[in-house]
A and B are shown apart, each in its own frame.
Chain A
Amino acid sequence: MRKIAAVIMALSACAVCAFSVSAENSDKVVDNASLLTDSQEQELEDKLSELADRYDCDVVIVTADTIDGKTPMAYADDYFDYNDYGIGSGRDGVLFLLSMEDRDWWISTTGEGIDIFTDYGIQFIGGEMLPDLSDGNYYEAFCTFAELSDDFMKQAQDGRPYDTNNKYKTAGDKIKIVLISAGIGIVAALIVTLSLKGQLKSVKPNNQAKDYIRQGSMKLTSSRDVFLYKNVDRTVRQSSGSSGSGGSSTHTSSSGASHGGGGGKF
């Protein structure tokens, strides 16, 4: 039995080696924290695989009870690097890490994924998932992640990934923009039509007599400007940090690979 086990170990090691040459790990959902049922895991697995095939960009979800004292960033980067995720020479991919230890979430991006998921995009996706994550609806949150990843990758194919100057719009956002535009349209239309209407009216009372002031007749006999008091109001400055230039910030992981990423608590 021991021999057989050793042979199987050796074979599977070879298989892993052979697989690592093509540098692809087909396990898209790694539920180490056991947050999903088997059928949910399978459904997600199918969705993410399909996305990876369609866009040539790996999409991975990892849950963990502990991240071994690493930062969520380091854990997510290392998990991606050392488990052979990523497609193609650039190892394009995105990995979502949910750590139950300190209730952290982190999105790590690699290769093309860095351009697809900008800093703005990562925070947006996290923000959309947050309510479900906080309520413990992990499956729903992961489905949101899959759907948004689909939208983000599709958008990036057009060469204009979602960013601070090209924000992701929900249906509500779009309606809001259209309504605001309609409001601007009404104001502009009123300005134009009322000024055109004003052209028709030229008879108005002339309430002043400045045309008849005798030249040089104005004399100031006294002119005083007395300072009374002053007061100072102060207001806290609005942090205008998020209105930066957009794009993705990158860092280098322990394996030497370059990653983008971002995260938060849930």
Chain B
Amino acid sequence: MSTLLEYKCPCCGGAIEFNASVQKMKCPYCDTEFDMDTLKAYDDELKADKPESMEWDDDIGGQWQEGEQEGMLVYICESCGGEIVADENTAASSCPFCGNPVVMKCQFSGDLRPDYVIPFKLDKKAAKEALSKHFRGKKLLPKVFKDENHIDEIKGVYVPFWLFDAEADADVTYNATKVRRWSDSRYNYKETSHYLVSRAGNIGFERVPVDGSSKMDDTLMESIEPFNFNDAADFQTAYLAGYLADKYDVTAEQSKDRANQRIRKSTEDAFRNTVKGYSTVITQNSSVRLSGNTVKYALYPVWVLTTSWKENSYIFAMNGQTGKMVGNLPLDKGAFARWFLGVFAGVSIVASILGLLFM
């Protein structure tokens, strides 16, 4: 039984993949395009043909030392018969021998099947352009970094996200003051009025995402938010063809705390914004209760680019839906010093001249 899924073009038999620019499956060999619905039917057909099984063999041979092969799996490419080695969380890849895009079918069966997928909207070219745009206009980026820099790896990854829905009930009290000032011929007056302000209510959150892959840096993933869920589609494996896809390896239970933290903060912010017209507002007491937590599992599109420079590697991530590009860049210390001295000298001289002339 095969564990790999390839979509063969009904016209020419070539392996077809999801094309981000036309938002359809497209055969790279004969340019035939297919609707996702057609493929869904095709997908269902395949499933019906081959009853799914979770019993893949991860104890191939006895020559591995114990634990060594853990998390590593070997698949056979359906096109050329080559062996594809991947870790247990890889769900889609391409064959290193024939380059055909493949999807590890079993990774998405049973409990593990994602509920939604946001398909890639931007292709590899857009990611490359976004990276060079990311370098532009940054005065303290070393010039040679831009020139010498070459992209080591660029990959489109469907990253697993847990989506949390929650209702938040909040009870918050604030100490607030209003200040009024006036003056007569002899004194300036400052009147401070103290108020106790309380707010209670509820607010709903939809699909707060938390990165479910330990391979992806959580902060990097939070930086490319937000994703727009309106583009999400019900999950079909066909979307994954041509891209890499990971399976979650951080459970929803483990991810819950982070979502709660963020929901709590935004709830407090939202209620704080209803306290208006005061000079100072200090939160005295805040209680936020979360209820109705439901979790969904989705795959979100991310372009990951890695580059190296001076023995350091730099990782960039682009939101495959909105094009938001993030990634920390190295600092040119010489340029930093030049800017500092330049601004310091310029401002000091101008200020000295003005001071000596007009004070």
What is A's interface to B at a CB cutoff of 8 Å? 165-167, 169, 174, 177-178, 180-182, 184-186, 188-190, 192-193, 196-197, 199-214, 217-237
Extra pairs beyond A181-B349, A206-B225, A208-B269 (12, CB < 8 Å): A166-B358, A182-B352, A185-B347, A186-B344, A189-B339, A202-B134, A205-B222, A209-B263, A223-B201, A226-B198, A234-B190, A235-B190
Distance (whole angstroms) from the CB of B70 to the closest CB of chain A = 31
Distance (whole angstroms) from the CB of A241 to the closest CB of chain B = 13
Nearest to B317 among chain A residues (CB) is A203
Q: Which of chain B's residues 258-287 have a Cβ closer than 8 Å to chain A?
A: 259, 261-263, 265-266, 269-270, 274
A226 vs B358: C-alpha distance when bound (angstroms): 51
Q: Which of chain B's residues 166-211 have a Cβ closer than 8 Å to chain A?
A: 176, 183, 185-209
Q: Are A193 and B196 in contact (CB under 8 A)?
A: no
Q: Are A202 and B359 in contact (CB under 8 A)?
A: no
A209 vs B261: C-alpha distance when bound (angstroms): 9
Set of chain B residues within 8 Å of A223, measured between Cβ atoms: 198-201, 274
Q: Are A213 and B351 in contact (CB under 8 A)?
A: no
Q: Are B208 and A229 in contact (CB under 8 A)?
A: no
What is B's interface to A at a CB cutoff of 8 Å? 134, 137-141, 176, 183, 185-209, 217-220, 222-223, 225-226, 259, 261-263, 265-266, 269-270, 274, 325-331, 336, 339-349, 351-352, 355-359
Nearest to B175 among chain A residues (CB) is A228
A-B contact count (CB 8 A): 212
Q: Are A221 and B328 in contact (CB under 8 A)?
A: no
Residue pairs across A and B with Cβ atoms less than 8 A apart, 26 shown, are: A166-B357, A167-B359, A177-B355, A185-B343, A189-B340, A189-B347, A197-B336, A200-B138, A200-B331, A203-B327, A206-B225, A206-B262, A209-B205, A209-B262, A213-B204, A213-B205, A217-B202, A217-B205, A219-B202, A220-B200, A220-B274, A225-B196, A228-B196, A231-B192, A235-B188, A237-B183
Q: Are A206 and B223 in contact (CB under 8 A)?
A: yes
**In this complex, which of A165, A190, A202, A204 has the most chain B Cβ atoms within 10 angstroms of its Cβ?**
A202
Set of chain A residues within 8 Å of B346, measured between Cβ atoms: 185
Set of chain A residues within 8 Å of B355, measured between Cβ atoms: 177-178, 180-181
Nearest 8 CB-CB pairings of A with B: A185-B348, A217-B204, A181-B351, A206-B222, A211-B226, A214-B204, A189-B344, A177-B355
Main secondary structure of the interface of B (DSSP, over half): mixed
Set of chain A residues within 8 Å of B225, measured between Cβ atoms: 206, 211
Q: Are B356 and A169 in contact (CB under 8 A)?
A: yes
Distance (whole angstroms) from the CB of B125 to the closest CB of chain A = 21
Q: Are A181 and B352 in contact (CB under 8 A)?
A: yes
Q: Are B266 and A184 in contact (CB under 8 A)?
A: no
Q: Are B347 and A234 in contact (CB under 8 A)?
A: no
Nearest to A174 among chain B residues (CB) is B356
Distance (whole angstroms) from the CB of A222 to the closest CB of chain B = 4
Q: Are A212 and B205 in contact (CB under 8 A)?
A: yes
A185 vs B208: C-alpha distance when bound (angstroms): 45
Q: Are A226 and B203 in contact (CB under 8 A)?
A: no
Set of chain A residues within 8 Å of B195, measured between Cβ atoms: 225-228
